[in-house]
Chains A and B, each alone.
Chain A
């Protein structure tokens, strides 16, 4: 990973106490939760803050003249600023609240595509994209008679940058690439990818769903035009996410969803839309989700992203070494730059069977294609078993996993 200081300063056992869910038993065994890539667990501090929100702060934002509404509007807008600062975006209005990564990408594809994509144009994605970063572009291409181009990967699960350079041309109107692969863990060189696109004046969207929890993202440094992520992998709720767009794009693009809050004036003849960011935030938003997202960012920053990165790197190395020692086990995704996600397959055993037997031992893992079917096709496998590790996981849990896998192999072979 990018931020490595070998001597991790974190007190993991103390941090685990922030997550009461981790101390329960499942199927009579201590829960080993290795599925934070699907959704992360939520710290008690934010659960308590949200309980307080419901009991003392709840009101609707932006419209009310009464005190509760004013207070919560301020809190919600402060949350936007917290996100802006965390991502080092230039302006707070570039931060749009959405319902999650999927909606962020759909929003971008729809309102960008509507205005800028025409017949014969090209949109570039990669072979390792999540379906959420394939389908919106595929539909856009079908609607506009445009062409979807795909950057291939090598056997380690790294993007082939030379091939990418070949694909970029004057027909390319947008690129959409994941920052971290949810299946392989590959950390893509997005800064370089964006710079190459910008050389040809092509805007770039980055899917940050899997990156935010463990990588420091600096949007001005990356120079991304669009950046998307959801909060539920970042230790708070489902149903809230962020679309960052450079102000230039936001002003030029039409709204995607419309309702009362997105307008300045409405007559039956014409509607004048609101300024940013409200132009893109139709409907009553997930207010508590937005405030919780800011709390989650504060939480992560108190622990320190560098500390988290260093510890997760240690976990990844440990898990990679231990898992590699299992006969017949093959790790899928061995990129040089890798986040703490390990996908693997086992000879002659179906991933689903392994997941089922692991579940019986209290070990929570994800199995299947992880919404990356083209990637599964690339590797010629039906799916993988995936462990996603975060700072509240321990080496002892990895040992439990290794024993669990050995038991599964014994039963299934």
Chain B
């Protein structure tokens, strides 16, 4: 599936909950439980994203021109957000990732997580994923 298609799928999933914020968050927390976990050996300070209230680790690998991410967080809601991002971004080419618009965030009412306050670092997460993609692209050319 293309990135946008996965985004739409997620939007539909969250729409089912309507105004039920508890349901939305429980779903997000549940997604976190199925996150492709970063291998323990890579859970180092080097892979730790700085400036977030919760700890977020992200790691990427290139396989057959596609970039795959694993991650983790010490906060359970943040972990759900990491899982969402990985579900959308992982398994795509560098170009696809760099050009991803990620409109789903507005649509599922996660906008508050995008505020540049020192909270759960969704902004840093997206930036890091795109930077990784850019790095693989430059490596390739």
Establish whether residues B54 and A360, one from each chain, have CB atoms under 8 Å apart when the complex forms.
no
Q: How far is the CA of A150 from the CA of B78 in the complex (A)?
A: 34
A305 proximal to B (CB < 8 A): no
Q: Which residues of chain B are within 8 angstroms of A352 by Cβ–Cβ distance? A: 53-54, 75, 77-78, 119-120
**Interface size bracket, B side:** 10 to 19
With A351-B53, A352-B120 in contact, do A411 and B74 touch (Cβ < 8 Å)? no
A412 & B55 in contact (Cβ 8 Å cutoff): no
User: Is residue A114 within 8 Å, beta carbon to beta carbon, of the partner chain?
Assistant: no
Within 8 Å CB of A349, what residues of B? 76
CB neighbours of B74 from chain A (8 A): 350, 382
- Tell me the chain A residues, 349-384 only, with Cβ under 8 Å from chain B: 349-353, 356-357, 359-360, 367-369, 382-383
Closest Cβ neighbor of A356 among chain B residues? B77
Residues of B within 8 A of A357 (CB): 25, 77
Within 8 A of A (CB), among B55-86: 55, 74-78
Residues of A near B75 (CB, < 8 A) are: 350, 352-353
Within 8 Å CB of A351, what residues of B? 53
- Contact in complex: A368, B118 (CB < 8 Å): yes
Cα separation A351 to B25 with both chains bound (whole Å): 16
Partner of B29, one of A27, A359, A412: A412
Residues of A within 8 A of B112 (CB): 359
A382 to B75, CA, bound (A): 10
CB distance from A105 to the nearest CB of B (A): 21
A411 touches B25 (CB 8 A): yes
Smallest beta-carbon distance A249→chain B, Å: 35
For the complex, what is the distance from the CA of A359 to the CA of B115, rounded to whole Å?
A: 14
Q: Which residues of A contact B21 (CB under 8 A)?
A: 27, 360
- CB contacts (< 8 Å) of A383 on chain B: these are 53
Query: Across the interface, do B25 and A360 meet the contact criterion of CB distance under 8 Å?
Result: yes
- Residues on the A chain within 8 Å of B12, using CB: none
Q: Closest Cβ of chain B: how far from A410's Cβ, in Å?
A: 10
- Complex alpha-carbon distance, A319 and B74, angstroms: 28
Kindly provide the distance from the CB of A149 to the nearest chain B CB, expressed in whole angstroms: 28
Considering the chains assembled together, what is the distance between the CA atoms of A412 and B120 in angstroms?
A: 16
Residues of A within 8 A of B26 (CB): 411
Distance in angstroms between the alpha carbons of A359 and B53 in the assembled complex: 16
A367 and B53: CB pair below 8 A?
yes
- In this complex, the member of A353, A357, A382 whose beta carbon has the largest number of chain B beta carbons within 10 angstroms is A353
Cα-based distance from A79 to B49 in the complex (angstroms) = 46
Tell me, yes or no, whether B45 is within 8 Å of chain A by CB.
no
- Given A352-B119, A352-B120, A368-B118, the answer on whether A411 and B29 have CB atoms closer than 8 Å is yes
Q: Which residues of B contact A350 (CB under 8 A)?
A: 54, 74-76, 78
Q: Check: B22 CB closer than 8 A to any chain A CB.
A: yes
Instruction: State the Cβ distance, A110 to closest chain B Cβ, in Å.
Output: 26
Closest B residue, CB atoms, query A382: B74
What is the bound-complex CA distance between A357 and B112, given in angstroms?
12
Q: Flag if B55 contacts A382 (CB, 8 Å).
A: yes
A382 neighbours in B (Cβ, 8 Å): 53-55, 74
CB distance from A56 to the nearest CB of B (A): 37
Identify the closest chain B residue to A350 (Cβ): B75
By a beta-carbon cutoff of 8 Å, the part of chain B in contact with chain A is 21-22, 25-26, 29, 53-55, 74-78, 112, 118-120
Nearest 8 A/B pairs, CB to CB: A350-B75, A368-B53, A352-B53, A352-B75, A352-B54, A353-B77, A353-B75, A360-B21
Give residues in A with beta carbon < 8 Å to B: 27, 349-353, 356-357, 359-360, 367-369, 382-383, 411-412
11 CB < 8 A contacts A-B: A27-B21, A352-B120, A356-B25, A357-B25, A359-B112, A360-B21, A367-B53, A382-B55, A383-B53, A411-B25, A411-B29
